[in-house]
A and B are shown apart, each in its own frame.
Chain A
Amino acid sequence: MMADRGINLVRDLLDAQLLDGDERRLGRVDDVLLEIRDGRPPRVAAMEVGAATLARRINPTLGRWVRRAAIRWLPVSLRPVRLPLTTLRAVGVDLEIDVDEATKRRLLRVEAWLRRRVVRPLPGGKENEA
């Protein structure tokens, strides 16, 4: 479906919601990376997802500050996740991607950490209780 029409990088990709095949929300496209190649035209290398990437887009200083603070104080990595365009399955208002479990885990690192360390110890915090 994507072969016969172009994808608009800003309109269709940037800031779009990422979903897996089960419609689970995995984050938003926080930046789009182009690869510059010698003697050949540039091409789209990847979509980047991550708090530090988003902060850098708002302001480069803020981006550096978030990255340093995350490395020094946060118990969970905020390293951006890069998704090659080959993961794209459907482009609409949202983007459906097909990624392996390891990538999904990296996209949901903060979510998983908060679930394990904060929510589960609270009453009603187990998956099967509600």
Chain B
Amino acid sequence: MKSLTKIGLGILTSVGGYLEVGSIGTAIQAGAAFRFSLLWTIALGTICIAFLTEMTGRLAAVSHEPVVAAVRKRFGIRVHLWPLTTQVVIDLLVLASEIGGASLALELATGITIRVWVIPVALLVWALLWFATFGSIEHSVAVLGLVTLSFTVAAWWLRPNLAELARGLVPHRPAQDAARYGYLAVGILGATVSPYLFSFYSSGAVEEKWRVKELMPNRIVAAAGMMFGGLVAMSVIVVAAMVLAPRGINGDFYQQAATMLSLPFGRWGFRVFCASLFIGCVGAALELALDVSYIVGQSFGWAWSEDQPPAEEARFALGYSIAVALGTIPSLLGIDPLAFTMFSMAMTVVALPILIAPLLVVMNDEHHLRAYTNGWITNAAVIAIVALAFALAVVAIPLQILGG
């Protein structure tokens, strides 16, 4: 039973990876434009992120140290400065997208303009972080995140052609519009293989005081948590493909896309869509704001724990407070949240190699991991992921211009 509650960390992490504005947005566009043929990107992204979270969870369980702390210690501040700065910038960009996404969900639900909602959404995120503990945030987001399974129910109800689904799991050249296909593939991978997921997951494992006996639960939580997210993201593609594509809706506008659940669920569909988007974005925003505080605090050796009251850890609490405040700026300036999200996803992809490559060294360091260093399978996986990340980083900017 106790190890069952650990799945909460996997689902919380997964909500931030798959059910936030970037993932839902790219999945809708992919389904609407290319039907099932981009399903493989979710499968590939899920395998990558499951490997990365398992590794950093293992590091946390064995050394009681999260991944960012290990990178500073192993490489020294002069090297660590680069991944640290990169990740803080990326986290802030994606955090701003999530605050925009949650505000957009409220605009869809009420018809009141997005700008009115930005400050209330930011205050909600801040207040949850300021007053609540890690455990309560984890479990409430994990439970509320289950609402997004309604996409899976909808996909089931729509009875997709299984042979066509299976073909979508294998990469192949699109019949037309290759630039947009590539652009969406990179966007989905950028939204899925988000570096904050594994720095957050390993911090969470330290918060929950995982030990060596948690290594088996860690594997299950990493795999099951990411499969949950991957399943929902694939369901979004399937529903978009079966509802939006035949009607010629391209998914560029959330206003039209929000009706995609109305076919299976009637007038509840629209509300469920707005609720899913809101919960996913708020969950991801909580995760991102915490991640900024985690990685900065861990890099400089400050006290960091969401379980302590703010007065016990002033620097940690002010870190996420400043992050949330900065995250409101793009939406308040009136920048379109969807365009800003696609930009953030492309930037994530460009930054991926610099954030993942240090893992190859850290995860083979016996000083940190004792007998639990990477074996040949996990090392091969990191090398493959870093190679993939380099390839994506090279094509991300050209595809952003050609396809977006």
CA distance in complex: A129, B72 (Å): 34
Decide: B309 and A27 in contact? CB cutoff 8 A: no
Decide: A130 and B131 in contact? CB cutoff 8 A: yes
Decide: B302 and A27 in contact? CB cutoff 8 A: yes
Residues on A with C-beta less than 8 A from B158 are none
| With contact pairs A93-B368, A125-B310 given, residues A14 and B318 touching in the complex (Cβ less than 8 Å) | no
- Against B, the Cβ 8 Å flags (1 = close, 0 = not) of A88-130 are 0000011000000000000000111011001110101111011
Choose, from B75-83, B222-230, B263-271, the stretch at the interface. B75-83
Choose, from A15-23, A38-46, A77-85, the stretch at the interface. A15-23
User: Which residues of B (295-347) have their CB < 8 Å from a CB of A?
Assistant: 300-304, 309-315, 317-318
Partner of B76, one of A15, A25, A110: A15
| Residue B234 CB within 8 A of the other chain | no
CA distance in complex: A24, B73 (Å): 18
Choose, from B8-16, B63-71, B163-171, the stretch at the interface. B63-71
Residues on A with C-beta less than 8 A from B309 are 124, 126-127, 129-130
- Min CB distance B59 to A, Å, is 10
Q: How many A-B residue pairs have CB under 8 A?
A: 79
- Describe B's contact surface by its main secondary structure: helix
Residues on B with C-beta less than 8 A from A25 are 301-304
CA distance in complex: A18, B302 (Å): 9
| Residue B367 CB within 8 A of the other chain | yes
CA distance in complex: A123, B357 (Å): 42
Decide: A16 and B73 in contact? CB cutoff 8 A: yes
Closest residue of B by beta carbon distance from A14: B76
Partner of A15, one of B65, B73, B310, B317: B73
CA distance in complex: A130, B130 (Å): 9
Decide: B301 and A119 in contact? CB cutoff 8 A: no
Residues on B with C-beta less than 8 A from A54 are 77, 300
Decide: B314 and A27 in contact? CB cutoff 8 A: no
Closest residue of B by beta carbon distance from A8: B367
Residues on B with C-beta less than 8 A from A127 are 309, 311-312
Count of chain A residues near B, Cβ 8 A: 33
| With contact pairs A93-B368, A130-B310 given, residues A124 and B301 touching in the complex (Cβ less than 8 Å) | no
- Describe A's contact surface by its main secondary structure: mixed
Residues on B with C-beta less than 8 A from A114 are 314-315, 318
Residues on B with C-beta less than 8 A from A130 are 131, 309-311
CA distance in complex: A54, B315 (Å): 17
Decide: A27 and B311 in contact? CB cutoff 8 A: no
User: Which residues of A (8-56) have their CB < 8 Å from a CB of B?
Assistant: 10-11, 14-18, 24-28, 30, 54
User: Which residues of B (233-247) have their CB < 8 Å from a CB of A?
Assistant: none
- Min CB distance B293 to A, Å, is 13
Closest residue of A by beta carbon distance from B72: A15
Decide: A26 and B311 in contact? CB cutoff 8 A: no
Decide: A115 and B311 in contact? CB cutoff 8 A: yes
Decide: B65 and A93 in contact? CB cutoff 8 A: yes
Give the one of B69, B72, B73, B368 with max A CB within 10 A. B73
User: Which residues of B (117-146) have their CB < 8 Å from a CB of A?
Assistant: 130-131
Closest residue of B by beta carbon distance from A113: B314
Residues on B with C-beta less than 8 A from A111 are 302-303, 313-315
Residues on A with C-beta less than 8 A from B301 are 17-18, 25-28
* Known A57-B77, A119-B311; 13 more pairs at CB < 8 Å: A15-B73, A15-B77, A25-B304, A54-B77, A54-B300, A110-B315, A111-B302, A111-B314, A111-B315, A119-B310, A122-B130, A127-B309, A127-B311
B positions within 8 Å CB-CB of A? 63-65, 69, 72-73, 76-78, 80-81, 130-131, 300-304, 309-315, 317-318, 367-368
- Please, could you name 19 A-B residue pairs with CB atoms under 8 Å apart, sorted by A? A15-B73, A17-B65, A17-B301, A18-B301, A24-B303, A26-B301, A28-B300, A54-B77, A93-B63, A93-B367, A119-B311, A119-B317, A122-B130, A125-B311, A126-B311, A127-B311, A127-B312, A130-B310, A130-B311
